[in-house]
Amino acid sequence: MKITIFDTKPYDRQYLEKENESYGYELKFLESRLTPDTARLAEGSDAVCAFVNDDIGSDTIDALVKSGVRLIAMRCAGFNNVDMRYAYGKIHVVRVPKYSPYAIAEHAIAMLLTLNRKTHRAYIRTRDHNFSLNGLLGFDLHGKTVGVIGTGQIGRCFIDICRGFGMHVLAFDPYPASGSDYEYVELEELLKKSDIISLHCPLTPQNFHLLNAKTLALLKPGAVIVNTSRGALIDTEALIEALKDGRVGGAALDVYEEESEVFFEDCSDQIIRDDLLMRLIGFNNVIITSHQAFFTREALSKIAEVTFNNLRQFKEHALLENEICYRCSEFGKSCHKQKGQPCFVLS
């Protein structure tokens, strides 16, 4: 089987090649992202492997199908960059639904601690032999209220860590975790009562710009926002205004809604033309990392393992356990997969 792997970095290649030792598939690695223009580079491949910032809209899907590709294997959990409705009946889509929820949750906590205790600024100061504490004042996490939006596996790991710090947890999720003892409240109540808000939910049309000018106005003055999910959960312009007027006391962002052109890349010798990103970076109470939360050895190993298992199932015409379609990715929709069948059958 031949697979074209888009948007690859050296670490992707290392883990994917190691996993492929057990399979012997023909792998073609490309640094370029998957777009309508680059899709033709997959001609002759059985499948493509794509990542979070690839452009997999209708034009890309048409180009892949024309090139003979029958499977899109996402090496990530999210699939908001795939036009799932258009893909239905044309090309199968699989994903890695879970790899290491601990990696994401731990990074969210690391960003929160860094933002609060300003260890990044202290590190830079002491490198210059400046040992002043002025401007480095933080607050105790113990006793604070953290609002967790999304209680899937990552959200639950994050809650466990927060409880270890002695924090009070409020949770919001349209689909509460069964059997949990979480204190679920409505989103408005969570925003009003939380000292810290952490996002752990997928991006859907329903929660696009979940945090916007209207919802940010509900926050306690000085509340801190952490986002390790998807950038478009937050309206960036509204966040900037809330930071300027002090409604938001700080933001720790591992994702950004227009990240695709800069994240994962070395732009140090370029002029970045994204004014909103530059304004965010300019705030001394904002920390931005480059979609780094997933980046652990354990997570990369698991991503490679599940990705190749997805490819094996496709090759063997087995049921694709991690297949998704617009029906099964939208709660309440009927999908053949619920009956133990493929989401659809290609002609």
Per the domain annotation, does 139 fall within a domain? yes
| 230 flagged as catalytic | yes
State what percent of residues in the chain have pLDDT above 90.
89
Of 2, 67, 71, 38, which is closest to residue 320 (Cα–Cα)? 71
Q: What is the mean pLDDT of the chain?
A: 94
Q: Are residues 150 and 266 in the same domain?
A: yes
Residue with tokens 């948007």: 7
Per the domain annotation, does 324 fall within a domain? yes
| 291 flagged as catalytic | yes
Per-residue pLDDT, 261: 86
Per annotation, catalytic residue among 230, 247, 257, 323: 230
Per annotation, catalytic residue among 156, 200, 247, 291: 291
Of 135, 157, 136, which is closest to residue 148 (Cα–Cα)? 157
Per the domain annotation, does 197 fall within a domain? yes
| 297 flagged as catalytic | no
Per-residue pLDDT, 174: 94
CB neighbours of 186 closer than 8 A, spacing ≥ 6? 172
Residue 281 phi/psi, 5° resolution?
-60, -30
Q: Are residues 49 and 171 in the same domain?
A: no
- Give the pairing of strands 92-94 and 323-324: antiparallel
For residue 327, name the pLDDT band (cuts at 50, 70, 90): confident
Summarised one tens digit per residue, pLDDT across range 194-245 is: 999 999 999 988 999 999 999 999 999 999 999 999 999 999 999 999 999 9
Q: Are residues 178 and 226 in the same domain?
A: yes
For residue 6, name the pLDDT band (cuts at 50, 70, 90): very high
Per-residue pLDDT, 338: 65
For residue 329, name the pLDDT band (cuts at 50, 70, 90): low
Q: Are residues 59 and 164 in the same domain?
A: no
Q: Are residues 42 and 178 in the same domain?
A: no
Summarised one tens digit per residue, pLDDT across range 23-36 is: 999 999 999 999 99
- Distance CA(305)–CA(301), nearest Å, equals 6
Per the domain annotation, does 344 fall within a domain? no
Write out the residue range of the structural domain in which residue 320 sits: 2-99+297-339
Per annotation, catalytic residue among 107, 259, 323, 327: 259
Q: Are residues 219 and 186 in the same domain?
A: yes
Per the domain annotation, does 346 fall within a domain? no
For residue 346, name the pLDDT band (cuts at 50, 70, 90): confident
Q: Are residues 166 and 227 in the same domain?
A: yes
Per-residue pLDDT, 331: 54
Summarised one tens digit per residue, pLDDT across range 46-104 is: 999 999 999 999 999 999 999 999 999 999 998 999 999 999 999 999 999 989 999 99
For residue 339, name the pLDDT band (cuts at 50, 70, 90): low
Q: Are residues 153 and 197 in the same domain?
A: yes
* 111: CATH: 3.40.50.720
Of 40, 49, 41, which is closest to residue 16 (Cα–Cα)? 49
Q: Are residues 30 and 165 in the same domain?
A: no
Per-residue pLDDT, 65: 97
Per-residue pLDDT, 230: 95
